[in-house]
């Protein structure tokens, strides 16, 4: 009852839970290795890397779109994770060959950052082909809790073993963890659980190879109003996240480095623990009882209130409280609900356009929002209060867009129930047809 999970859904849902757990464990093993390298570089060097990330993201997503056009969906996820695993093994073996490994380390920094976004984008696209739309609404929050569990487990490995193992060996541990994802993906591809004589998890209808041009994902985001709305929703989230990041950085400047490390480490543990608890029972019930629109708007509305308070009381405790609420709300509510929106698009759009939104739009938002914050603070001299007011306005727009996307999602759901299909919302989604047939 806690997760709204039916008995016949337990095996695939738990498998997906552990798949998310291992993916995030691998990433959080790599992230401290990446950030430890960045501490040796100047702010200008790191800023330049942030801009390079955007162009690298465009290229990687284009290559991914090419793979989607020519590879069967059954093989796609195992191939992607095998590729990333082997790439980290390659970094491990190349490192000793460089007497001055700065360029290689910067390449590793960029590569881990791309992996951090693409790995979950591929995961959610893959999982959405396993479950029907109704199951996604109930099970995605539980599956997302696996990512939170991995975010708690992953950092403990470098925390306790980094000195004994060395940073290079942590790359191998992460690579092996990624390889463990592959048999789980293959299991989810094969699973066929029969309940009351019905095959609840048969492979979905539709082409085994999506086909089409590799650039289709880019054009779909620009031409499809629903996908464009999701992209803008992500962009507004990135803007607020960047604003919060820079505000947090500035307000913690008066503390010593060990104090900052302790504060930020405590925030990470609190966020991951609260997310793990809330994800089991909160989001699926919010969608069920409040609707998708209010669910998507809940965290933006919370930030409107939090930013308003921060504008008049710019205290570190309030800032950190708002930051915790934002991150917990995103991981346990906004992210799972946002992933549900992609159950209303076709397979081609889900596998090609979704990475464009998750990686290219996200990284583009990072670059633009960082420059905008610098303009407002250093260029125009605005303080924390004024910038918080601007952020509150952005959060208001974000909330309104969430309500709009929720209405489009629910309207399509209602039309599907009546046998009508809205082409603008990609009615070819296979899980909708299989649900209607049952």
Q: Name the average pLDDT for the chain.
A: 78
pLDDT at 430 over 50: no
**pLDDT tens sequence across 95-123:** 777 767 788 888 888 888 888 878 888 88
Residue 393's pLDDT is what? 92
pLDDT tens readout for residues 164-221: 777 778 888 999 999 999 999 988 887 743 333 344 444 444 445 666 777 888 888 8
Q: What is the mean pLDDT of residues 10-28?
A: 90
- Residue for token digits 């985001």? 221
Is pLDDT at 403 greater than 90 in this prediction? yes
- For the chain, give the percent of residues with pLDDT over 70: 80
Q: Please enumerate, as own/partner, the contacts of 57-64 that have beta carbons within 8 Å and a separation of 24 or more.
A: 57/114, 57/117, 57/359, 57/360, 57/362, 57/363, 57/364, 58/360, 60/114, 60/118, 60/359, 61/118, 61/217, 61/355, 61/356, 61/359, 61/360, 62/214, 62/215, 62/218, 63/214, 64/118, 64/122, 64/355
pLDDT at 179: 92
**423 DSSP assignment:** G
Torsion-angle region of residue 383: left (phi > 0), alpha (psi -120 to 50) or beta? beta
| pTM exceeds cut of 0.75 | no
What pLDDT, on the 0 to 100 scale, is given for residue 138? 77
Task: Give the pLDDT of residue 431.
Answer: 31
């Amino acid at each position: 009852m806690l997760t709204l999970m039916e008995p016949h859904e337990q095996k695939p849902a738990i498998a997906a839970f552990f798949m998310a757990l291992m993916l995030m464990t691998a990433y959080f093993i790599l992230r401290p290795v990446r950030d430890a390298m960045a501490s040796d570089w100047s702010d200008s060097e790191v800023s330049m890397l942030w801009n390079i990330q955007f162009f690298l993201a465009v290229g990687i997503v284009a290559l991914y779109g090419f793979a989607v056009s020519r590879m069967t969906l059954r093989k796609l996820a195992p191939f992607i994770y095998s590729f990333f695993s082997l790439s980290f093994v390659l970094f491990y073996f190349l490192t000793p060959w460089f007497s001055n490994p700065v360029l290689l380390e910067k390449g590793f920094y960029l590569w881990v950052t791309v992996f951090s976004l693409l790995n979950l984008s591929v995961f959610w696209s893959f999982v959405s082909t396993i479950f029907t739309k109704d199951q996604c609404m109930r099970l995605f929050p539980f599956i997302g809790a696996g990512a939170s569990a991995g975010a708690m487990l992953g950092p403990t490995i470098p925390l306790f073993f980094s000195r004994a193992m060395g940073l290079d060996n942590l790359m191998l541990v992460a690579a092996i963890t990624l390889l463990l994802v592959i048999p789980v993906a293959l299991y989810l591809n094969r699973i066929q659980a029969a309940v009351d004589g019905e095959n609840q998890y048969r492979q979905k209808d539709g082409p085994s190879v999506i086909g089409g041009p590799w650039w289709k994902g880019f054009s779909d985001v620009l031409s499809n109003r629903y996908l464009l709305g999701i992209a803008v929703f992500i962009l507004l989230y990135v803007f607020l996240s960047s604003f919060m990041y820079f505000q947090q950085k500035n307000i913690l400047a008066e503390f010593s480095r060990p104090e900052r490390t302790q504060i930020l480490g405590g925030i990470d543990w609190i966020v991951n623990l609260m997310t793990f608890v809330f994800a089991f029972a909160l989001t699926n019930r919010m969608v069920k009882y409040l609707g998708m629109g209010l669910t998507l708007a809940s965290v933006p509305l919370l930030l409107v209130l939090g930013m308003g308070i921060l504008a008049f009381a710019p205290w570190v405790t309030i800032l950190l409280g708002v930051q915790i609420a934002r991150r917990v709300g995103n991981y346990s509510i906004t992210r799972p609900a946002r992933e549900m929106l992609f159950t209303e698009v076709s397979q081609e759009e889900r596998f090609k356009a979704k990475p464009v939104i998750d990686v290219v739009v996200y990284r583009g938002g990072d670059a633009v929002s960082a420059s905008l914050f610098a303009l407002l603070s250093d260029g125009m001299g605005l303080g924390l209060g004024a910038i918080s007011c601007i952020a509150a306005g952005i959060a208001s727009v974000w909330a309104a867009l969430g309500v709009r996307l929720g209405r489009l999602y629910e309207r399509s759901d209602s039309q599907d129930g009546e046998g009508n299909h809205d082409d603008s919302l990609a009615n070819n989604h296979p899980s909708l047809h299989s649900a209607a047939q049952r």
